[in-house]
Amino acid sequence: MILAISVVIAVVFASGAFLVLQRDLLRVVVGIVLISNSAILFIIAAGLSRGSAPIYPIDEGAVSDPLVQAMALTALVIGSSVAALLLAVVYRLYVSHGSIDIEEIFRMEMREAEELESMNKTELDPEEEEVADERKLEKEEPR
């Protein structure tokens, strides 16, 4: 039984790691969710013990550990919150760029950065503005 649980956890983690390495942002989000779920399964498997429920009055015998269940529930809530945040970010990227392909978004961002850099060099360079102002003054003044 332990071997089967270990194999399931390994397959879920490997699937998540494979999806994180993809170019499509939705697949990346699904990969992060799968890795988070494999961590939750690992926490549950690590604390797997048979016993009665940890509710008072406690019967004699083995009692299952409630800390494992609390940690798994906390990890599940955090994982779903992270997934919701990542999906919101992916949606905003899709709205602003029209694509969820990482390479295409990177190319678009680089083009925009180069355009801004070229605009800043020509428009905001104070030394060039001073030289241009002096040239205008020289042209306007008669000699």
Cα 9 to Cα 34: distance, rounded to the nearest angstrom: 10
CB 52 within 8 A of CB 59: yes
Span 21-78, pLDDT tens digits: 999 999 999 999 999 999 999 998 888 777 777 777 777 777 778 888 899 999 999 9
Residue 8, C-beta contacts closer than 8 angstroms, at least 6 positions apart: 41
Q: Which CATH class is domain 2-96?
A: mainly alpha
Domain ranges of the chain: 2-96, 101-143
User: In the prediction, which pLDDT does 125 show?
Assistant: 53
DSSP string for 80-136: HHHHHHHHHHHHHHHHHHS--BHHHHHHHHHHHHHHHHHHHHHHH-HHHHHHHHHHH
